[in-house]
Amino acid sequence: MHPILKTILQRLGLGLLTLFVVSIIIFSSMQFLPGDFATAVLGQSATPETVAAFRKELGLNDPAVVRYIQWIGGVVQGDFGSSFSGRSAGREREVMELIAPRLWNTLFLAGLTAAIAVPLSLALGITAALYRNSLYDRTINATTLTTISFPEFFVAYILILLLATLWKVFPSLANVRPDTPLMDRIYMCALPALTLTLVIVAHMMRMTRAAIINLLASPYIEMARLKGVSSSKVILKHALPNAWAPIVNVIAFNLAYLVVGVVVVEVVFVYPGIGQLMVDAVSTRDIPVVQACALIFAATYILLNLFADIVSIVTNPRLLHPR
């Protein structure tokens, strides 16, 4: 077997093992929460007999090990169980039925942000390294450090004030619906996407700049310059391919943040994403929804980190043979 393929399969196996351990942690954390789930769902006015019958219906009287095996067995088959919310009133809904449209909304917002932030950060990082210590470089660094120092909600409110109140360019709310046309959806998601772009572009830009500058001192870069190769070609054809490993890792971490760390932005703009769904599920003690959201978040982090590792290995085979 080719060593690169072998390493990729090992990383995939490690990722699955990590996800299994995380699932145990998520399930165990739910069991340690104070209070009784059935009482929280039915309310304090429920009679002990009703609570007991409800606990038996949900399987809460079974041992934790049995409930975990049943839960993880259903997850493997794509079944996350039924939501507690509305169950007492006879309006039972599947967890995936609740999560699927919210997850699509979050992925759409993350994809829109990534389509803006990744090319922008790479362009800013490369040009800042190309014109190192110039006024342009210092301006870009000062601007990105300023945006990264502010919390997401502050950036969101500033953008709402400027672009939705003083100058009515974009709507202040992004309450999209499943039947919203694509162009209208992009227009309504402009402010949330811009907020996330300003927050994450600094990390990727600074890592790109640092990786390029670090490689510019290498002997083969100096040889290319002595041969008369232009500065832009030196960076794009010689430095950038060898700088992909750290850059891809930073991009993967920020893309993971776009999926799992946008709760504040979704709340500010009233955006119906999975982060806001998880916050609502925690407040209503809807444990199956909380577990499903947490597992999706963990799987997103693990998959993106695996992707970053694979890209690092493929673009730099020397990582296969560490000294």
Phi, psi angles (nearest 5°) of residue 86: 80, -5
36 pLDDT band, cuts 50/70/90, is low
- Residues 135, 277, single domain; the answer is yes
* Per-residue pLDDT at 317: 55
Q: What's the average model confidence in pLDDT over 223-232?
A: 77
Tell me the per-residue pLDDT of 47-63, one tens digit each, with 9 for 90 and over: 777 777 777 776 777 78
44 pLDDT band, cuts 50/70/90, is low
Please, what sign has the CA dihedral across residues 114, 115, 120, 122?
A: positive
User: Which residue range(s) make up the domain with 63?
Assistant: 1-85+284-323
Q: Tokens 């007991």, residue?
A: 52
From the list 112, 101, 267, the residue with the least C-alpha distance to 189 is 112
Give domain status of residue 161, yes or no: yes
- Residues 138, 71, single domain; the answer is no
Give domain status of residue 100, yes or no: no
Structurally, the chain folds into a number of domains equal to: 2
Tell me the per-residue pLDDT of 167-176, one tens digit each, with 9 for 90 and over: 888 888 888 8
- Residues 128, 272, single domain; the answer is yes
CA-atom Rg of the chain in angstroms:
24
Determine the angle formed by the axes of helices 287-315 and 274-283, rounding to 10 degrees: 150
Q: Is 225 a residue whose pLDDT tops 60?
A: yes
The tokens describing 274, both together, are 């999975």
Q: Which H or E run contains 262?
A: none
Tell me the per-residue pLDDT of 59-96, one tens digit each, with 9 for 90 and over: 777 788 888 888 888 888 888 888 877 655 556 688 88
* Per-residue pLDDT at 321: 58
DSSP for 138-171, please give it: HHHHHHHHHHHHS-HHHHHHHHHIIIIIIS-SS-
Q: What's the average model confidence in pLDDT over 259-277?
A: 83
Higher local confidence (pLDDT), 122 or 235: 122
For residues 276 and 263, give the distance between their C-alpha atoms in angstroms, rounded to a whole number.
6
Rounded to two decimals, the pTM is 0.80
From the list 182, 284, 118, 310, the residue with the least C-alpha distance to 293 is 284
Higher local confidence (pLDDT), 100 or 282: 100
- Residues 147, 68, single domain; the answer is no
- Residues 220, 171, single domain; the answer is yes
CATH code at 211? Answer: 1.10.3720
Give domain status of residue 99, yes or no: no
The tokens describing 88, both together, are 């007492």
* Per-residue pLDDT at 318: 61
- Residues 132, 254, single domain; the answer is yes
Give domain status of residue 260, yes or no: yes
- Residues 33, 118, single domain; the answer is no
Give domain status of residue 98, yes or no: no
- Residues 21, 64, single domain; the answer is yes
- Residues 277, 292, single domain; the answer is no
Task: Report in angstroms the alpha-carbon separations of 68 from 59, 130, 145.
Answer: 11, 54, 45
- Residues 258, 175, single domain; the answer is yes
The tokens describing 48, both together, are 């002990």
What does the mean pLDDT of the chain come to?
A: 81
* Per-residue pLDDT at 21: 92
CA angle 155, 298, 111 (to 5 degrees): 50
Share of the chain above pLDDT 70, in %: 89
- Non-local (6+) Cβ contacts of 131 within 8 A are 137
Give domain status of residue 107, yes or no: no
- Residues 46, 7, single domain; the answer is yes
* Per-residue pLDDT at 176: 85
- Residues 141, 274, single domain; the answer is yes
